[in-house]
Amino acid sequence: MAYDKTETVGRARLRPLAGVLAALLVAHSGIRISAIAIPWFVLVTTGSATQTGLVAFCEMGPYVVVKAFAGPLVDRVGPRRISWIADVVSAAAALLIPLLHAQGMLSFGVLLALVAVIGTVRSPGDLAKDVMIPEAAELSRVPLERATGLQGICERLAGTVGPAVGGTLVGLVGPMVGLGVNAACFLLGSLIIATALPRGMGQPEKIPVEQGTAASGARTGYWRSLRQGLAFLRKQPILLALYAMLGITNLLDAAYVAVLIPVWAQESGYGPATIGLVLASFSITATVGSLVAAAVAHRLRRRPVFFLGWLVTGAPRFLILATDAPLWCVAVVIGIGGLGGGFINPIIGAVTYERIPQEMMGRVQGIGDAITWAGIPLGGLVAGAAVAGIGLAPALLTAGAVYFLTTNLTGLRPEWREMDLHRGKGRAGRSPDTAPADRVPSAP
């Protein structure tokens, strides 16, 4: 990949990172809106927590399976092209739901099929955006931890704006309007990726096959490329420990968002707008935490900050909903949790990007994401069955206890001592300050 050397400072220098982050922000905002609209639509039309969980499973099941195998495709075709195509298809599928509902043609089976399509194509699209972060950080001359902190800010802002907008739209005009806004967000994200990034960014790596290294995977066959990703990951114990822990916490978080919060909002009589309030209160303070992390995280020891963040952000969110605490108290506890959560994702991103070579980022990150997201499709199903079997409060207490044990006991493992091992070396050992001059971006 070759870039002009004429625009090296100011906004032009920051353009790669700003473009990717903007696409992440709008796409994730749309996802947060649909995460309220679809479960609430199913819950009020069927009255079934189990069917609500089934919808979440039909979206996230294909999402996880596809992500496990999409990495070599992202590496070969290029994350930029994969991202904008996936967003266009996701927008079309999301828009079909309100259109079919308006015509009286949206059966539960058709809804499940369209949700499955969204999950299938969203998966490589999300992976592609994540893969472009370390390249964008290098081109923009931004330290990796700061770039992942800014990534966390965008995700948290999406988690603030999306639930607030989604809860308001669902409460005032119904869930179908929310899905229309979701489709518009996908289209906008696709437009940003297609037009706003510098020439040459997000293209497949061009590495000669005769080098005979793992980096030549861009030219090797699909299955060999996938095996290279697996072989690399097996030699990274800290990444395996991280992915295993995230697999459990993501399952519990999916149960929390897809079923436990909607059922709590319905049983308490607060209504759908409160779902947005609860999620937004977490995301607002998490955004503040991410801002602080972006400014100072590169000066702090990662391990204590990481596990303290989990202690604050994990179990308390579940436990407070199991009580009869007033709404303001629920918002305060969840908001405090958001402050701790704001430090977690920047550390995860930096630790991950430091260890994976850019030319293997798609396949390794795809496998890792599949592990961490493997429990998400089951989260709604497990939560729905638990609520139906033992009731809401016992299900919340059990989930909180499991969350606490998962995020504290794992910290005793020796792998976590490696969290600061490659600190400050940029992606896969390269410092952001040593990016080659011919990779400075220019406007199209």
Which residue reads 């796409």 in tokens? 27
Cα–Cα nearest to 166, from 294, 36, 19, 296: 36
The distance from CA 79 to its chain's CA centroid, rounded to whole angstroms, is: 16
**Mean pLDDT (10-residue bins), the chain, 444 residues:** 42 77 87 82 80 81 82 83 90 91 88 91 87 84 79 76 76 82 89 80 54 45 81 87 90 88 84 76 81 73 85 90 87 88 81 81 82 82 88 92 87 76 53 34 31
Does the residue 437 lie in any domain?
Answer: no
Does the residue 140 lie in any domain? yes
Which of left, alpha, beta for 172 (phi over 0: left; psi -120 to 50: alpha)?
A: alpha
Least Cα distance to 97 among 111, 87, 109 occurs for 111
- Please tell me the total count of domains within the chain: 1
267 located within any domain: yes
| Residue 441, in any domain of the structure | no
Q: Does the pTM exceed 0.75? A: no
pLDDT of residue 422: 57
CA distance 334 to 317: 5
Closest CA to 228 of 214, 240, 242, 248: 214
pLDDT at 113: 92
Question: Is residue 122 one of the residues assigned to a domain?
Answer: yes
Q: What pLDDT sits at residue 401?
A: 92
Classify residue 121: in a domain, yes or no. yes
Residue 253: which of 235, 232, 279, 277 has the closest Cα?
Answer: 279
* Residue 433 covered by a domain: no
Q: What is the pLDDT of residue 441?
A: 31
Q: What is the pLDDT of residue 114?
A: 92
User: Does residue 436 belong to any structural domain of this protein?
Assistant: no
pLDDT of 219 reads 53
Q: Say what the pLDDT of residue 12 is.
A: 60
pLDDT of residue 352: 84
Domain around 335: 10-207+222-423
- Domain with residue 121: its CATH number is 1.20.1250.20
Can you give the pLDDT at residue 168?
A: 79
